[in-house]
Amino acid sequence: METCRAAVITEHNKPLTIQQVPIPKLDQGSLLVKITASTLCGTDVHRWHGPLGDGDSLPIITGHEPCGYVEDIAGERTDILGNPVKRGDRIVWSYVACGSCYYCAVALQPCICPGRASWGHNRSDQHPFLLGSCAEYMYVPKECLIIKVPEDVTSASAAASACAYRTVMHGFDRLGAIKSHETVVIQGSGPLGNFATAVAKDHGAKKVLVIGAPANRLEVTKRMGADGVLNLEEVTDEKHRRNWVRDHTEGRGADVVIQVANNLAVPEGLTLLRGGGRYLNIGAGGKANIAVERIPQEMLFITIRSAEPRHWLQAIDFLASRRKSFPFEEMISKSYKLEQINEAMAAMASYSVVKAVINFN
């Protein structure tokens, strides 16, 4: 059996190792993709530090944000728009829901399908081995929908659309229209916060205000179009942060608050929202047993998980069509080789980069 190199977590909190992992035989409809870029995500760091949720069974190939070239296809495939997929196409691809459970078929909420498949936490010593993105190749199951990447979108940005950016698109989809008189407050200035800043501006918000840290991330936030940023590390009193939002909104609070940091930010976030406003909760880390002083009247509280295949397409489309308006490449702050995976994971863990990318060429 042929093998390829992959960055593998063999023990939580211990350095990852570069291992040779088998390249599987393709089942009908599946693809083999030669990875060109894999961006890292906060979730990769959480998984490395300890098992998530039900617990991961090690060893796993880290990473779930891939972009690559089709190396091989078993049979004929089309992309999400119905165009044929060929060897050499540069693509990203969606997660897979079962399609036949209550959530998929009745509620039409496939992101909470219990039988959903995703990447970056699958055993690398069991077929089909290559389901993590920090590897030279990835296996793409036949159920995945394929999105071709236009030439003017870099592989690193396309890779980030496979998690961070498509999740933001899902959030805005559920949030609905933003009116031209509305002010949006974003809690968090990581990749999701910065991408959300661009989308909120693009969708017509009057003002986008971002509360985050550290300063290097907020510099990028400003260039993504934020009308105001507040550094959490400098303004440590919650009351002052609330007053800052009030000052920007004639004392009412924001029409929309988007949380892309951590569940722990929810109590403060609710105090930044006006009565009747909309709260979009995306950041899923941290305990959710949070105490809130009061809940704004007539508010909407929206939570989302991951994204549907169409949101992958929306994210890629946004990167391509808005590339002249927003400096998306600035969100990918540092590039590493596969051998430098531990350095890259440490940079993500310390927030010293907005997003790290493993480049394969």
Q: Is 235 in the site for Zn ion (CB under 5 A)?
A: no
98 scored as a contact of Zn ion (CB under 5 A):
yes
| The token pair that represents 51 in the structure block | 């098992």
Shortest spacing between CB 86 and Zn ion, in angstroms: 28
Whole-number Cα distances in Å, 39 to 55, 107, 331 = 23, 32, 11
Query: Can you tell me which of 40, 41, 91, 260 binds Zn ion, judged by CB under 5 A?
Result: 41
Helices (H), the chain: 42-49, 155-160, 166-175, 191-202, 215-223, 238-248, 266-272, 309-321, 341-349
Window of 3-11, 25-33, 99-107, 269-277 that interacts with Zn ion by CB under 5 A: 99-107
Question: Among 4, 249, 154, which Cα is nearest to 257's?
Answer: 249
CA 70/CA 30 separation, integer angstroms: 11
CB of 99 to Zn ion, least distance (A): 6
Count of residues that interact with Zn ion, criterion CB under 5 A: 8
Q: Retrieve residue 245's tokens.
A: 């939002």
Tell me the two tokens of residue 61.
């190939």
Q: How far is residue 273's CA from residue 279's CA, in Å, rounded to a whole number?
A: 7
Contact 190, 197 (CB under 8 A): no
Among 61, 97, 316, 345, binds Zn ion (CB under 5 A): 97
Q: How far is the CB of 113 from Zn ion (least distance, A)?
A: 3
Pairing of the two strands 300-303 and 273-281: parallel
Nearer CB in complex with Zn ion: 85/172: 172
Give least dist CB 206 to Zn ion, A: 30
**C-beta of 192: minimal distance to Zn ion in Å?**
9
Give me the 153-172 binding string for Zn ion, x by CB under 5 A, dash otherwise: ----------x---------
Query: CB-wise, 43 or 62, nearer to Zn ion?
Result: 43
Sketch the per residue contact string, 295 through 334, with Zn ion: x for CB under 5 A, - otherwise.
Answer: ----------------------------------------
Our CB check for Zn ion shows the closer of 56 and 89 to be 56
Least Å distance, CB 164 to Zn ion, is 6
Which is nearer to Zn ion, 96 or 229 (by Cβ)? 96
How far is 361 from 358, CA to CA, in rounded Å? 10
Close Cβ partners of 359 (under 8 Å, ≥ 6 residues apart)? 36, 37, 155, 156, 335, 336, 337
The answer to whether residue 101 forms part of the interface with Zn ion (CB under 5 A) is: yes
260 binds Zn ion (CB under 5 A): no
- Least separation, in Å, of the C-beta of 241 and Zn ion? 27
130 interacts with Zn ion by CB under 5 A: no
Residue 104 in the binding site for Zn ion (CB under 5 A): yes
Q: How far is the CB of 21 from Zn ion (least distance, A)?
A: 21
* Chain centre to alpha carbon of residue 191: 8
Q: Which amino acid is at 181?
A: H
140 sits near Zn ion (criterion: CB under 5 A): no
Q: Judged by CB under 5 A, does residue 43 bind Zn ion?
A: yes
Binding-site string for Zn ion from residue 68 to residue 87, where x marks contact by CB under 5 A and - marks none? --------------------
| DSSP letter string, 67-129 | EEEEEEESS--B-TTSPBP-TT-EEEE--B--SSSIIIIIS--GGG-TT-B-SSSSBTTSTT-
Span 171-230, contacts to Zn ion by CB under 5 A: none
Shortest distance (Å) from residue 3 CB to Zn ion? 26
Q: Which of 23, 40, 113, 229 binds Zn ion (CB under 5 A)?
A: 113
Cα separations in angstroms, 90 against 66, 69, 155: 11, 4, 8
Instruction: For the chain, give the number of residues.
Output: 361
The residues of the shown chain that bind Zn ion, judged by CB under 5 A, are 41, 43, 97-98, 101, 104, 113, 163
